[in-house]
Each structure stands twice: as structure tokens, then as C-alpha cells.
Structure 1
């Protein structure tokens, strides 16, 4: 059963119980035209469930149904008990809760008033099974009993409680997403720091070697200059990445990614990382263009996170397909499984794996997509091989 159906289950059970009570009571009293109550009850209950997803439409529909049902019952002179059936009262409560929970205060006030007005009209205009004794004073239309007050106060209070809880959950979720994004920026910054250190060290070694050889080979310095220039350009690009990643980053909470084992051979690193585990990974690597160190580290991290997510969350998966290839100045990472994908973006224990991957790809100037397919779950990331200057 899906999550939306599970959330509707308490309301479905409540309406079903009230409908059974209505059937029992009307059956025992044998009220005239009782069958004419059924259409209004069914439609009102359905609109109450609809209000959980579309509160405005559900409230307007419920009010209109009460009015139309009242006109129909008067036309056929069908008798009711207390004007409204218990199922209709329950549907009113559910609609009020949904409206107060999900709609702005101004709109909710109008919709709740409309639903209550339709209920009051139905209560006083429908033919009743019991008539007041001859000579007694009829109950004025504006009279309010304790049960009527409870019909207003309790649903509104419960709706406000759920509204506050939803806001708190949204704030918690936003804070968790921000923490994951900050953690990913810091992780990328640490990796880029290592790249910059490596490039600067290489430049120093090349310059020192050129100096040592210049005494015996005057052309050695000239030969070394293009290599030093290329290393400087790569170090500068990595430094820009580093500054961009640190610009808004602060220490955040969240799961620390597993350490990576990096060499200068990206294809070998990918094969070593995906060789063990279940379900097995069928890896395809096609690197027609060189991949910069700062990009290669992120490629490894994206494949690692995607494969880990598939192994952890794809039920009954038999195989994971992973592809890494370069094309038109980009490296494309694609990972998909053949299991039943039951994951969502939010994970228990601070996972938020998709949020972290999306943030990393964004920082690198790429594109990221993830979602269910007909055969499982698919993650695709396109990362530029050469970062455009900011």
C-alpha cells in the first residue's frame, strides 16, 4: 500500500464505521425514502477524502453536495434523523481539518463557514423522522448545542495542530537538506585542496628539475615551461572550484562518506570500487578524453554513492548497471538497477544521498537527474571536463 493511501486509512475507517451505524439506525427505524440518503452520503464521503489532497475543491464540493442532497430529499419527502447522517457529519469534520491544515487562514475561514452553513441548512430543511409535539415551540434555526460547538472547535483545533506539525517537519527537512549541501561543499573543498597541493608540488618539481638541467642543457627550461603552464592552469581551475565550494559552506551534520582510494587511473579505480558487493555491478568505462583530477574524484564519489544507494534501497535487485564515458567535453555517469525502488530523497539516519549528489554536481557546473524507471531506479550526472570561469 502506498504512503498516500496509508495516510487516508484512518479517515476511510472512520467514514466506513459511521456509514455502518447509519445503515443500522435507518434500517431499524424504517424511515421513509431512506435509500435517497445513499447518494449524498457516498459523494460527501468521497469529497472528504479528496479534500486531503485538494482541500478547496473538497470543501466546495462537500458544501454543494449537502445543498443538492437536501433539495433532493425534500423533493421526495425522505425522512432523516437529525437532518444530517452521521457519515455526513464525519465528512464535515474531515473536510474542516483538511482545510485548516493546508489552506491559508483567510481562505480556510471562508471555506469552513461555507461547509458549516451548508450543514446547518441541511439540518433544518430536511424532513425529519420525528416531528415536534403539537403546540411545542420549534427550535430556532440559530440555536447552537454543545455538540454543534464541538463540530466546529475540535476539527479547527486539530487542523491547527496538524498545520503546526507540518511546518515543524518542513523546517527540520530544510535544515537537514542545507546541512547535507554544506557537508558536500566541504567534502569537495577537501578533495580540491588535495588536487591543488598536488598540482603546485608538481610545478615546483618541474621547475627544480629544469634548473638542474639548465647548466648542461640550456633548452631544458624552455621545454619545461609549457608543462609548468599547464599544471598552473589546472591548479588555478581547481582553486576556483575550491573558493566556490567554500563560499557558503559551514560545518554541517550528516553521514560522512566512505573514504575513496584514488590513483591516476580512473578506469582502474572504478573497477576496483565496484568489483565487490551484492548485487553485482556491470561496469562500462569509455574515457576517450582525459579527466581532470578534481573531476575524477567526483566521478568516483558519484558512482560510489549511486551504487551504495542501489544496494541499500533497491529491493530484489539482481544487477546494477554503471556507465562512465566522456562525450563532447562532459563525463556522463549513469547508474541504474532492476529492483523495486522504494527510496525517497529523505533517508533514515541522515542519508540524503540524492541531495548530496545533486549539490556536488551543481558545484561542478553539471546536470543531475534521478528517479524511478519502468525497471528500477536510475541516476544520471553530466559533469563538464573543463570548468567554465565564473
Structure 2
């Protein structure tokens, strides 16, 4: 069993939503603003004596150079769709200006390198782009007599931004694969649980049909000598038949189970809970049990209620350990029954452990919630504010699979 409830955790247990910056929320607008922000400094700023920056007179900019700057800046808008092409455009626009006062496209090349690492599908182009950018930076530095230390620092920045983008892409890919694996595991658990539920209901229907056969045979044998007894037996057959049809309709609403069954005979219900509680207490759990349900329950609800209590108690025993005080309350509700399992153990802290310290994932809350949903009900499980864990299930009597 596992107390983690993927995807549909209740509000009390939801994790804080990840921060989403403008490049995630409005990618096209953010890229347009970025392109303009990189284009304007490249056009308006130039190096001044003493490693300072000065504003370049707009009237003194050559038209071909302005065209190169515009092409390189506008290309940044497509840095997500075609990052390699954007880097090539930036390098080609930078090349004619190397060694001159117009060689200010380095920041645009840096952004293009990051985009290649972050968004390029083919990994091979990244190193080639870094080598080409570093070569252009080296040529520009040598033509402008830039110290080798500054050239090396620029080369480090260029290679570093590409590597950063690549690492972010790899991390995002791993996160996406993890989400897919978790979703696939949740679907597998739900499918397996539905099959298990259908198999149990199959046994319920088979048991009722067997009872109908026995009662019909008894009615035939006593029909001549005891007509009243035969009528009572046939009335029991009629009632069992109605219940069997009701359970069969619900069974088909779940799914068509495999023909293989775990065994013959009736499935457990709420009447078997005292024996289950006694077994759990023998295992070391301190359980107090109250059953205030007075309404007769359909077999499917009776069975699912038993299984939910069984899995909840097993969950407490596994994650909180023996000597944990546990309360199990069952009561009638307006349209069905309510099940509440409350413990004071430290099992909620299990969720904070690293994945390497956890055992293989079990059905736990996923399976219990699926049982409740198949009856048209709901299940909520979350840690209590003062410690411990609370599980509440609402099972309608007349619900249908959802």
C-alpha cells in the first residue's frame, strides 16, 4: 500500500504550483520583447576607450550594418522553433562586423547558443555552434587587441550558456518522462483494481445464482406436501434473482472480467469487519471499531466498504507501525454510507522520504478511490493538522460507475 494519491490529491495536500515566468506563460510575446531588447543595445551602443560603453549616433550607422543587426535581432523571435537556424543567422550577421566598432552582436549570439541547447532536437549542432561562436569571438578579440584573458572568459560564457540550456532541456525531458510513467502506473493500477472488483462481483453474482438453484430445488421437492413453504422458497428465489441482476448490471458497468476467478463462495462484507479488526489487533494495531449502519446494503457496496476498511487498516499498519491507535467509524448518510478511518501514527511523514527509501508502489489510495468512484462516491485522504492520517469515503447505495 502507498498513501500517495497521484494526480487528484485533495486541496489540503496539494503542493505549491511551480512559478511560471513570462517566457513560459507568454512565450511569443516574451520572445518578441527579448528580440527588441537585444536589437536596440546592439545598434545604439559601442565600445568606448577604457572598456566603457557609449551611445552610438543613429545617423552614423551604415545602412548595411543596420540591416545585419535587424536580421539578427528579428531572428531571435524564432529561437524556439528553429534554434540552429537562428544561431547560423546570428553568426553570419556578426562575421562581417568582426574587428570593427560595429561588432556588438555577441549578446545575440549568446542568446542563440542558449536557445540551441534548450530547444534544439539534434544534440550534434550544439558543440559545432559553440566552436563557431568561440572562433568568431577569438578573431574579433585578436583584431581589436583584446587580452587573452577576456577572450577566454567570453569563450567560457558562450560554452556555459549552451551547456546550461542543454541541462535544462534534459531535466525537462526527465520530468516529462516521469510524469508519463506516473500516469501510466496510475492507469495500470486503476485497470487492475477494476478487474479485481469485477472479479469479486462476478463471485457475488455466482453465489446468488447458486442460492437460487438450491432454493428452487427445495421448492420443487416440497411443492406437493408444503405449498406455503414452496411459495416462500420461490419468493426467496425471486429476491435473489433481482439482486443478482442488479449486481450483474453493475458488474457490466465496471468491465467484463477475465473468466478466471480467485475462488467460489460469497465475498466478505461489513458483517466480517469484526473478524478483520480482531486480526489487525493481533498484528499489533490498536483499533476501535463502531458500526452504526442500519440500512441494508447492496452486495457491491457491502463488499467495497469492507475492502476500503481492509486496505486502510493495512495501510496504517504498514506505514505507521504497531501500537498505532486507529479509529474506524461507519455510519449511515443521506444517500448511502460514510466510512472514516483515523489514526495518530507518523505514517504521513512517509511521503517526505526520498524515493530511494520507499518500497515499490502499491495500490493504496488509488485503488480505494477507484472503488469509491465506481460506486458513484468519493474518497478523501490527507494528513491531519495535528499529526496522523484521516481517510473518509462516501459510498452511495444507488450509485453507478463513473
1:217-366 equivalences in 2 (<5 Å): 217-247=226-256, 262=268, 265-314=271-320, 318-340=324-346, 341-344=348-351, 348-366=359-377
1:53 aligns with 2:50: no
CA distance in 2, matches of 1:353, 1:103: 35
The structure with the largest alpha-carbon Rg is 2
How big is each residue's C-alpha offset from its partner over 1:308-352, in whole Å with a ceiling of 9 and x where there is no partner?
222323489841111122333412111111233124499741214
SS of the equivalent of 2:21 reads helix
Partner of residue 225, structure 2: 216
CA distance in 1, matches of 2:364, 2:217: 44
Segments of structure 1 that go 5 or more residues without pairing to the other structure are: 1-51, 58-98
CA distance in 1, matches of 2:361, 2:249: 29
Partner of residue 23, structure 1: none
1:73-222 equivalences in 2 (<5 Å): 117=38, 140-143=103-106, 145-222=154-231
TM-score by length of 1: 0.61
Q: Cα RMSD (Å) of the superposition?
A: 4.0
TM-score by length of 2: 0.59
- C-alpha spacing 1:362/1:108, structure 2 compared with 1 (3 Å): farther
- C-alpha spacing 1:303/1:131, structure 2 compared with 1 (3 Å): same
SS of the equivalent of 1:275 reads helix
Segments of structure 2 that go 5 or more residues without pairing to the other structure are: 1-16, 54-98, 108-153
State which drifts further: 266-275 or 360-369. Answer: 266-275
Partner of residue 379, structure 1: 391
In the TM superposition, residue 109 of structure 1 has moved relative to its aligned partner by 5.0
CA distance in 2, matches of 1:334, 1:244: 27
In the TM superposition, residue 279 of structure 1 has moved relative to its aligned partner by 3.7
Asked if the contact 1:333–1:382 (Cα under 8 Å) also holds between the matched residues in 2, the reply is yes
In the TM superposition, residue 250 of structure 1 has moved relative to its aligned partner by 8.5
CA distance in 2, matches of 1:335, 1:365: 20
CA distance in 1, matches of 2:222, 2:317: 54
Asked if the contact 1:261–1:269 (Cα under 8 Å) also holds between the matched residues in 2, the reply is no
Asked if the contact 1:267–1:285 (Cα under 8 Å) also holds between the matched residues in 2, the reply is no
CA distance in 2, matches of 1:189, 1:244: 9
CA distance in 1, matches of 2:334, 2:18: 44
How big is each residue's C-alpha offset from its partner over 1:246-268, in whole Å with a ceiling of 9 and x where there is no partner?
25x789xxxx9xxx983783343
- C-alpha spacing 1:131/1:316, structure 2 compared with 1 (3 Å): farther
SS of the equivalent of 1:55 reads coil
- C-alpha spacing 1:103/1:323, structure 2 compared with 1 (3 Å): same
CA distance in 1, matches of 2:20, 2:270: 58
Give the aligned length: 282
Partner of residue 78, structure 2: none
CA distance in 1, matches of 2:102, 2:235: 99
Q: With a CA cutoff of 8 Å and minimum separation of 6, indicate the structure with the bigger relative contact order.
A: 2
CA distance in 2, matches of 1:342, 1:111: 45
SS of the equivalent of 1:334 reads strand
